[in-house]
Amino acid sequence: MITPMPVVVLISGSGSNLQAIMDACASGKINARVCAVISNKPGAYGLERAKAAGIPTHCIDHTLFSNRDSFEAALSQCIDDYAPGLIALAGFMRILGTAFIERYQGRMLNIHPSLLPHFPGLNTHQRVLDAKHHYHGCTVHFVTQELDGGPPIAFSKLEVNSPETAETLASRVLVLEHKLYPTVISLFAEKRLYMEDNIAILDGEPLHAPIDITQIQTRKIS
């Protein structure tokens, strides 16, 4: 059996996607192991989730640093101590700088609560409702210098109900996230997924747009 790929997960909050990743690793759905969880917020509940699973945790509080460069230098040092094959952003609410992103180019993923390229940034659920879109969902993409604009890999979607609130929509999308993110991480761990020339490559084929999770689950290795 191939040695499980070490993954460092970056969080800022409750860590529900972290929990989904840890569960998928523990059950063998992902040939990977979460080797460390790092938060930029001391009170993030995700740290407690990781501790309960026996995973090393670190808090690097960005408010204690005078600038972004010094914060990211400390963050990089902590990450590199674990030599991860992948850095997974799971609700990590900090915009990362150029040097940091270049350091981990091609091995850093993020999950975003919208159907990218629609609604990058914050408050996606309310913005979807305000725009009266009929569909919403989440997308996993490689992290690049463009905010939520890195090469998209896969998405999962749902139909917006009527009536619907931002809160109910957020909870429904979160269910999709918990399935989508482990699925994409599994592809990366199996070396079926990588980034080349700022394009996501899956099974040797370039992805010029994200594909539906249902296509991933039925797709065979080339």
The 3-class SS string of 148-202 reads CCCCEEEEEEEECCCCCCHHHHHHHHHHHHHHHHHHHHHHHHCCCEEEECCEEEE
Which SS3 state, helix, strand or coil, does residue 46 take?
Answer: helix
Strand order in the sheet with 199-202: 193-196, 199-202, 205-207
Q: How far apart are the C-alpha atoms of 183 and 24, rounded to whole Å?
A: 9
Q: How far apart are the C-alpha atoms of 129 and 208, rounded to whole Å?
A: 27
**What's the domain count of the chain?**
1
Per the annotation, the verdict on 112 as an active-site residue is: yes
pLDDT digits (tens, 9 = 90+) for 108-128: 999 999 999 999 999 999 999
The one catalytic residue in 58, 62, 112, 136 is 112
Q: Please name every residue paired with 5 in a beta bridge, in sequence order, or none if there are none.
A: 32
Phi, psi of 129 (to 5 degrees): -65, -45
CATH code where residue 19 lies: 3.40.50.170
Q: What global pTM score does this model have?
A: 0.95
pLDDT digits (tens, 9 = 90+) for 46-93: 999 999 999 999 999 999 999 999 999 999 999 999 999 999 999 999
- Could you list the residue range(s) of the whole structural domain that residue 176 is in? 5-218
Confidence of residue 220 (pLDDT cuts 50, 70, 90): low
Place of tokens 């210098």: 145
The contacts of residue 72 (CB under 8 Å, 6+ apart) are 96, 97, 99, 100
pLDDT digits (tens, 9 = 90+) for 138-178: 999 999 999 999 999 999 999 999 899 999 999 999 999 99
Q: How far apart are the C-alpha atoms of 133 and 197, rounded to whole Å?
A: 32
